[in-house]
Copies of this chain bind each other. A is one copy, B any other.
């Protein structure tokens, strides 16, 4: 093999040189970007794309293509250059880098069919890689997953979350390559070129680790082959490199992060230097080996029979979530679930009990839970990662990138709000609606009973793009019949009369406070309209405006959430165009421990406060 690899080196050397030239040219043309970090990775990219990986350049949708994640997303120019070299995009398009009319953005996004997940927030790629590798197992494909990282980004804890899960799942189809160029943005990285220190960490986390010279193509090829032959654990290749390799002006030097070369002398000299690095080829480059197109049954949307709950039955929405997930899992094997060691609280264990092979335990590591879900979703699974809603905040940067990627992940957060009771504020999600709504393409659902939970979970599964469902800890009565329909973007008017003096809009646990307030007011001869706003984003603006028009322009929202960014703001935005304003009842401050009922009342969102707000007006 060594001899054979050696014969392949000259052609790959020339490819690496062309990738450097293209990276330099495109960034100079753009006037910004990261040529230096491209140059450190040129041999690795050449070896991966033109020797190691099996993929069909004409068919990005082939599910058996090997996958590549550029975790160091700022090296996008060399990724685009590799595609041009492979014939995936036109060479001249490289010079449109970073332009508003080009999909060759500053960092890769899935606007491009070869990109699974957007990168550019460092330390995320390996989490996605874990999900992509788990997907290979799910669809019984032998594709391999390669993730290229910088050494700087291994300071991100998410990398070590991914490392732990990769080892736990024995993902031998996963290979991480760390381009150890030792220079961060603003100074040398923490471990710099201490290659033993790098390798020790990967080994300690259960990976097969190797140290190589990342500019020695034969060594790169050999390491990739060793990784391919390794069984039972993933491989990390620690490649010692120089930032700016091949251009003496920047090679191994600080101060060149994120700087394009200037047109004129600076560029010309660099190009001349790179040109001189071409070698005589004895052998032509080998053709990219494409995997055969295997026929697989297309995924089919399941339709669940009506929920089996009875009106008035007392069921927590978190429990209905778990039951619904298990039901849907029976009908559609693309459904998978991920847990961060709270499955017996979120009730995702109901799914695990039925479909253990489609259930992934990542332990207490929310970033890799969302990141792996992104990878799974990008390759065709329909993943439901869930945990306490409060702890989704841990993964907010991943959720942000999931929105940019527009991937099909279905997040669920349980234990929302003060209604969880005694555990106290650290366990209460009171900003999750704000954080999810802030992303313009995340669908936000918040059911109040078991029937709506089941119906909305089904909707969530087949709604294209990221979805968030908020569930609650306390048991709540079933208020909807089994045939009731729920739509993304809908709402339900639960109480209505011609004499309504205000509309009270709740969701989740506050729907029941609103119903109690309705009964109390009714007893005093006052009618209010009550709305269950189970879909916050998109939102049924027309119905809300109609409610306002029919109830004296008075809208009162009540939510188990802080004020900013929650239900009140969602409604206010929806009705603003018609000049209506909204009165908001929300948790006004950092809460403390107490019983659920005490807390709902203490923080101003119980029936008593709704009654007072209606009467005030």
Contacts and interface: CB of A to CB of B under 8 A. Distances in A.
Interface of A: 30-33, 73, 98-100, 102-103, 105-107, 109, 111, 118-123, 152-153, 155-161, 164, 168, 184-187, 189-190, 197, 200-201, 203-206, 339, 341-345, 349, 361-368, 390-391, 393-394, 396-397, 399-401, 403-404, 406, 421-427, 430-431, 434-435, 437-441, 537, 562-566, 568-570, 572-573, 575-584, 587-590, 592-595, 598-599, 602
A503 B119 CA distance: 39
Given A109-B592, A581-B581, 11 more contacts: A121-B390, A152-B364, A155-B362, A185-B341, A200-B204, A404-B426, A431-B435, A434-B437, A440-B562, A564-B565, A572-B572
A250 to B, nearest CB: 16
A185 B363 contact: no
A343 B577 CA distance: 43
Nearest to A401: B426
Nearest to A423: B106
A570 B576 contact: no
Given A345-B185, A393-B396, A592 B111 contact: yes
B153 A364 contact: yes
Contacts of A206: 197
Contacts of A397: 366, 390-391, 393-394, 396
Given A390-B121, A425-B118, A582 B590 contact: no
Contacts of A423: 32, 106-107, 120
Contacts of A425: 105, 109, 118, 120, 404
For A100, A577, A588, the residue with the greatest tally of chain B CB atoms inside 10 Å of its CB is A100
Given A100-B594, A364-B123, A425-B118, A164 B168 contact: no
A555 to B, nearest CB: 10
A155 B363 contact: yes
For A168, A403, A423, A577, the residue with the greatest tally of chain B CB atoms inside 10 Å of its CB is A423
Contacts of A349: 186
A156 B153 contact: no
A465 B333 CA distance: 49
Contacts of A367: 157
Contacts of A345: 185-186
28 contacts: A30-B422, A98-B424, A100-B593, A100-B594, A106-B423, A107-B423, A109-B424, A121-B390, A155-B364, A155-B365, A157-B160, A160-B160, A186-B341, A186-B343, A201-B205, A401-B426, A404-B425, A434-B437, A435-B435, A438-B566, A440-B563, A440-B590, A441-B589, A565-B565, A572-B576, A572-B581, A576-B581, A576-B582
B441 A590 contact: yes
Given A156-B365, A364-B156, A573 B562 contact: no
Contacts of A437: 434, 564-565
A362 B187 CA distance: 12
* Copies in the assembly, this chain: 2
Nearest to A119: B426
For A123, A401, A564, A575, the residue with the greatest tally of chain B CB atoms inside 10 Å of its CB is A564
A103 B441 CA distance: 40
Contact of A576 (B120, B187, B441, B584): B584
A339 B186 contact: yes
Contacts of A570: 564
A419 to B, nearest CB: 14
Given A391-B121, A565-B564, A592-B111, A187 B435 contact: no
For A73, A204, A344, A568, the residue with the greatest tally of chain B CB atoms inside 10 Å of its CB is A204
A563 B595 CA distance: 35
A538 to B, nearest CB: 12
B164 A590 contact: no
A588 B118 contact: no
Nearest to A202: B204
Contacts of A572: 569, 572-573, 576, 581
For A119, A155, A599, the residue with the greatest tally of chain B CB atoms inside 10 Å of its CB is A155
Contact of A190 (B164, B200, B404, B598): B164
B157 A161 contact: yes
B440 A589 contact: yes
Contacts of A119: 426
Nearest to A420: B106
A234 to B, nearest CB: 15
